[in-house]
Amino acid sequence: MANSIEDQLSAFGVAQVLVLLKTPKATAAASAKILSASLAASVPVVASKVLRLIAEDVVSRLCKHFQTSETSADTALASVKTRGKKGIGAKWFKKAQDETNPTPAARIYPNLRIMLGTVDRAGLDALVKSKDVADVIAPPVMSLIRPTSVTAAEAAVDFTWGIKQLKADKLHALGITGRGVIVGHLDTGLDGTHPALKNAIHAFAEFDDLGFEVVPTPAAFDSDEHGTHTAGTIAGRTIGGCAIGVAPEAKLASAIVIEGGSVIARILAGMDWVVGQQARILSMSLGIRGFTSDFLSLTQILRARGVLPIFAVGNEGAGTSRSPGNYAEALSVGAMGEDKKVPEFSSSRLFVRPNDPIVPDLVAPGVAIISARPGGGYQEMDGTSMATPHIAGLAALLMSAESTKTIDDIEKAIFDSCKPLAGEAVERQNRGVPDAVKALALLRA
């Protein structure tokens, strides 16, 4: 267990923990059958079905080890006005303390098969010893990887330079546009009224400060401006000849998960929701500075659920990286400019490990990227946050062209299509920049 659990127990008498549940073989087989059938029918997984497969008796056995506490972070959040007009977080906390009609103190994420809650020393010891628990870890604390530059811009009547750099426009000419693929997008949300995005939304969710969905189908909006930009790069529609989306017919399952509140609860809620929406790709420009294994189990869970995790590596320069973008299990993305150079801000790091020793895995257009701006119009941003959605869009194109291929097949085709940038050290770019046409040929071969 991470030292931060011990630190919290010492300081507050309680600690927030993330509990990974074991899955009995019979339950795993039944769960896989439901997930497979749901995917084939393009019908979202009903969370209650998966929750029953976790086994209600397991959840009820474990919930008694969690508690609400006046010294917990959740209590502090619930005591003030939480995100969303309905104040769901405060109502949850009040009900959790109601002895006549209690609510479990732990949050349950059925599609991920994990639980999040507050425990004291006795509760922690009981969870660690439980035969139903695979692991107990400290929840990671993540933050948005903000762009290094934001400027006003006008979109040209053309493809953006990033789309042309990846040769995604050549796949568009073949009729490969991402149709039928759902891309998970966890960010600051997106402006659903923007002309380039209003027809790109498969589903949208907002989570309050305690990680509860505030409204099942709220009007899509951006709590910042970051999410609208990244969403536009993934799947923005072509408007008046201005083509900003790498996969302009893919659909987005987008949720507001950052910043503010219990960030990990909101991100977990978003991840669980994205899996339930049948997304096959998850694009996240979020991270923890430096290397921590806290998010590793969650990244592994995503891959096990058939979701390709595509994460930004960070904007802190050479010799730095962000978790989970620096995991071998993630497809990590650094930035390149139109000048075919890796910008100074793009993070990169060499690890002492036999598998995937260099991050990022590749680089993609991340300088002077024009995409959608909340309220209409366009703006230009720099950052690995801008490079990441380019690769998410590329993956969507390949999945739409070859829908039976696995996420491992898609990832390998992208990797093998890469060409190194001349004059740049391998430690800064790893494989280089991918080629959409070559990746499709490799996938089909």
Select which of 254, 385, 400, 417 is catalytic: 385
Q: Is 348 a catalytic residue?
A: no
Contact 390, 404 (CB under 8 A): no
Q: Which residues contact 31 (CB under 8 A, 6 or more apart)?
A: 23, 50, 53
What pTM was estimated for this model as a whole?
0.88
Q: Is 226 a catalytic residue?
A: yes
Task: Work out the percent of the chain whose per-residue pLDDT is above 90.
Answer: 61
Q: How far apart are CA 100 and CA 98, in angstroms?
A: 6
- Reported as a single tens digit per residue, the pLDDT across 18-69 is 999 887 655 555 555 555 554 444 444 444 455 555 556 677 788 889 888 7
- Reported as a single tens digit per residue, the pLDDT across 77-136 is 766 655 544 444 555 555 555 555 545 578 888 888 889 989 999 999 999 999 999 999
Select which of 65, 72, 187, 272 is catalytic: 187
For the record, the structure tokens of 288 come out as: 């923890």
Ranges 70-84, 252-266, 343-357: which has the least confidence: 70-84
Q: Specify the 3-state DSSP secondary structure of 365.
A: strand
pLDDT at site 359:
97
Edge-to-edge strands of the sheet including 286-289? 143-144, 286-289, 322-323
- Reported as a single tens digit per residue, the pLDDT across 279-289 is 999 999 988 88
Q: Is the pLDDT of residue 364 over 60?
A: yes
pLDDT at site 97:
54
Burial label for 161, CB within 10 Å (0-12, 13-18, 19+), is: middle
Other beta carbons less than 10 A from residue 87's beta carbon: 17
Q: Which fold has domain 143-444?
A: Rossmann fold (3.40.50)
Tell me the CA distances in angstroms from 314 to 105, 362, 384, 405, one per residue in order.
34, 13, 6, 29
- Give the residue extent of every domain in the chain: 3-137, 143-444
- Reported as a single tens digit per residue, the pLDDT across 396-438 is 999 999 999 999 999 999 999 999 999 999 999 999 999 999 9
Q: Is 346 a catalytic residue?
A: no
Select which of 202, 226, 229, 390 is catalytic: 226
Contact 279, 182 (CB under 8 A): yes
pLDDT at site 48:
47
